[in-house]
Chain A
Amino acid sequence: MSKRVLPGFGISLGVALAYLGLIVLLPLAALAWKATGIGFEGLIRLLSAPRTLAALRLSVGGAVVAALINVVIGLLVGWVLVRYRFPGRRLFDALVDLPFALPTAVAGIALTTLYAPNGWLGQWLEPLGIKVAYTPLGVFVAMVFVGFPFVVRTLQPVLSSLELDVEEAAESLGAQRWQTFFRVILPMLAPTLLTGFALALARAVGEYGSVIFIAGNIPMHSEIAPLLIVQKLEQFDYAGAAALGVAMLSISFVLLVLVAFLQRWSHRWQERAT
């Protein structure tokens, strides 16, 4: 990539950084500053409390699982939507963005309505002993819902640009369909899948609106971390709330940076391979 020929490095990076600084970093600095109010000891006490740990485990662990599920399902849906033609394809394609557009509170209410024991789906699951609403499973369902479009949407453009000739070549060389998929296609998709994973994960970690209705909110069991923040605020404990917010942010930021490095690594690995 040549650097000198193209203009606008200074201005584009400047605008991006200024905007990020004003909209994201300055407010987050205020958050971090507020969080220092509880002191180091307070922070340790807060983060080592079993209830905090349980809530973080549910929020972060749930988001990781939900993002993994989304990678699998997103790959399936993205693949089907790009590669196959069938009636109603466009309709379904348009629907993928629904979780973006549906207000989270509405999604939460709708999902709870569906999965409650007296709901359309809940009434069939209840006899099987599967309880979704008001359990950690409900939290997963809501998290998969909000993160779903990310994987599909990052995947689609790349999938449609994947050169069929590579696959055809592989097949003409005698590769089985599944071999082509796992040896040729999947590695090419890896960076994109990682992006989708990261976005779905990031979205689900802090999700509140759609999760809160379906979660049950029982401490140690189905209570998500953002709810703890809300409860701290309810006691006018701004510092504690901010500290918890910073803790959650740090966790997801570390996860995001990790994914970004993984991506760069897979890009390089790809470039070397071709």
Chain B
Amino acid sequence: MKKFILVLLAAAGVVLTAAVAAKDVSLLNVSYDPTRELYRQINTAFAAQWKAQHSDTVTIQMSHGGSGKQARSVVDGLSADVVTLALAYDIDAIADHGLLAKDWQTKLPNNATPYTSTIVFLVRKGNPKGIKDWADLVRPGVQVVTPNPKSSGGARWNFLAAWGYALKQPGGSDATAKAYVSELFKHVPVLDTGARGATNTFVQRGIGDVLIAWENEALLAQRQLGNNAFEIVVPSVTIVAEPPVAVVDSNVDKHGTRAVAQAYVEFLYSPQGQDIAAKNFYRPRASDVAARYASQFPVVHTFTLAELFGDWRKAQAKFFNDGAVFDQLGVGS
């Protein structure tokens, strides 16, 4: 019986691997939730370029999910050639298991982040609660929707943006920041597990007055779902959200796909790649492309993770690990 099952499994496995190998060149890009529209366009453009240059057909398979879950899958054997996740901490975790070099973030320009975003507010049409800045979120009667930073990588940027705002106020300190963020989470009626869930709660269910969201998500939601039912409010100061990309060394070496994988991530920095990113509401790094899309991206006063929190490992340990700051806030109790 045992043998039979093993044989069956082996057979199924062989069939599947054969099916994958039959393609000309195949890349697996393991990404987080909100990048589907972006990479659908990137993949088409890159495949066309690769075909023109090398006359090879490259097929890019996509896997999308919560950033942390995706990183875990790669650690557990999902054979990603390229990872494009929401925060460096998740790629660090993959590096910790030896699948790519620990200094992966130095291998590509701009901290291996070809495009950025920022954290903004989505409010209902006419901004009935008069939300202008972070301070307005903790006014009595205001309900805020944001996902749980413990289960959503994207939401950790939201959290850090709020924390950074409080820190940057006159007399701001860790203590005042903690007081502010603690108060903020008292205004949260639903803590969705992921960013897209939170958007659905806010938009479809009509819960809450403000959605704290990535700018690209807010713009997309406005376009896809809005019918002008929502407005974007840019707070006085916010964080630069940096979703990084990396080639997974040990997997590309196993698949023999290093060249195409490297070309793929570099394509993201090319004028064409930057333009597609901007079209999908991510802020491009290239200044000429940014200039073309200036009307889409209002000027914001931002701080970076590095300025206020060092790096992701430190931020994770300080705020989001079990027993760390977020757990001390007493959310819900």
Count chain A residues whose beta carbon lies closer than 8 angstroms to a beta carbon of B.
34
Q: Which of B66-74, B108-116, B264-272, B304-312 contacts A (4 or more CB under 8 A)?
A: B66-74
A53 to B320, CA, bound (A): 20
Give, as a whole number of angstroms, the nearest-CB distance from B150 to chain A: 4
A240 to B207, CA, bound (A): 33
Contact partner of B205 (CB less than 8 A), chosen from A112, A236, A240, is: A112
Flag if A216 contacts B189 (CB, 8 Å): yes
A18 to B5, CA, bound (A): 11
Flag if B1 contacts A15 (CB, 8 Å): yes
Chain A residues 127-181 with CB under 8 Å of chain B are 133-134
Flag if B205 contacts A217 (CB, 8 Å): no
B294 CB-CB contact with A under 8 Å: no
Give, as a whole number of angstroms, the nearest-CB distance from B159 to chain A: 14
Flag if A117 contacts B206 (CB, 8 Å): yes
Given known A-B contacts A220-B332, A223-B332, A227-B151, A237 and B205 have beta carbons under 8 A apart: no
Which residues from A are CB-within-8-Å of B1? 15, 18-19, 22
A223 to B192, CA, bound (A): 10
Which residues from A are CB-within-8-Å of B37? none
A233 to B207, CA, bound (A): 28
B2 CB-CB contact with A under 8 Å: yes
Contact partner of B332 (CB less than 8 A), chosen from A113, A118, A218, is: A218
Chain A residues 8-42 with CB under 8 Å of chain B are 15, 18-19, 22
B315 CB-CB contact with A under 8 Å: no
Flag if A117 contacts B207 (CB, 8 Å): yes
Contact partner of A216 (CB less than 8 A), chosen from B71, B93, B191, B320, is: B191
Interface string of B254-271 (1 = CB under 8 A from A): 000000000000000000
A233 to B69, CA, bound (A): 8
Interface string of B143-157 (1 = CB under 8 A from A): 000001011000000
A113 to B203, CA, bound (A): 12
Flag if A234 contacts B150 (CB, 8 Å): yes
Flag if A217 contacts B148 (CB, 8 Å): yes
Chain B residues 16-68 with CB under 8 Å of chain A are 66, 68
Which residues from B are CB-within-8-Å of A133? 205
Which residues from A are CB-within-8-Å of B227? none
Give, as a whole number of angstroms, the nearest-CB distance from B144 to chain A: 13
Which residues from A are CB-within-8-Å of B69? 233-234
Flag if A227 contacts B207 (CB, 8 Å): no
B321 CB-CB contact with A under 8 Å: yes
Flag if A217 contacts B331 (CB, 8 Å): no
A2 CB-CB contact with B under 8 Å: no
B188 CB-CB contact with A under 8 Å: yes
Flag if B72 contacts A233 (CB, 8 Å): yes
Chain A residues 232-267 with CB under 8 Å of chain B are 232-237, 240
A76 CB-CB contact with B under 8 Å: no
A71 CB-CB contact with B under 8 Å: no
Count chain B residues whose beta carbon lies closer than 8 angstroms to a beta carbon of A.
32
Interface string of A78-95 (1 = CB under 8 A from B): 000000000000000000
Which residues from A are CB-within-8-Å of B331? 218-220
Given known A-B contacts A212-B193, A216-B190, A218-B190, A234 and B206 have beta carbons under 8 A apart: no
Given known A-B contacts A212-B193, A217-B191, A218-B191, A18 and B2 have beta carbons under 8 A apart: yes
Flag if A235 contacts B148 (CB, 8 Å): no
Interface string of B296-333 (1 = CB under 8 A from A): 00000000000000000000100011100001000111
Give, as a whole number of angstroms, the nearest-CB distance from B212 to chain A: 16
A216 to B189, CA, bound (A): 7
Given known A-B contacts A216-B190, A240-B322, A116 and B327 have beta carbons under 8 A apart: no
Give, as a whole number of angstroms, the nearest-CB distance from A238 to chain B: 9
Contact partner of A231 (CB less than 8 A), chosen from B72, B75, B148, B332, is: B148
Given known A-B contacts A212-B193, A217-B193, A234 and B68 have beta carbons under 8 A apart: yes
Flag if A116 contacts B193 (CB, 8 Å): no
A221 CB-CB contact with B under 8 Å: yes
A50 to B204, CA, bound (A): 33
A230 CB-CB contact with B under 8 Å: yes
Which residues from B are CB-within-8-Å of A51? 327
A230 to B72, CA, bound (A): 11
A227 to B191, CA, bound (A): 11
Give, as a whole number of angstroms, the nearest-CB distance from B10 to chain A: 15
Q: Which residues of A contact B (CB under 8 A)?
A: 15, 18-19, 22, 50-51, 112-113, 116-119, 133-134, 212-213, 216-223, 227, 230-237, 240
The 8 A-B pairs of least Cβ separation, nearest first, read A234-B68, A116-B205, A218-B332, A220-B332, A219-B332, A221-B332, A118-B206, A220-B333
Q: Which residues of B contact A (CB under 8 A)?
A: 1-2, 5, 66, 68-69, 71-72, 75, 93, 148, 150-151, 188-193, 197, 204-207, 316, 320-322, 327, 331-333
16 contacts between A and B (CB under 8 A): A116-B204, A116-B205, A118-B206, A133-B205, A134-B189, A218-B190, A218-B191, A219-B332, A223-B332, A230-B193, A231-B150, A231-B151, A233-B68, A233-B72, A235-B150, A235-B316
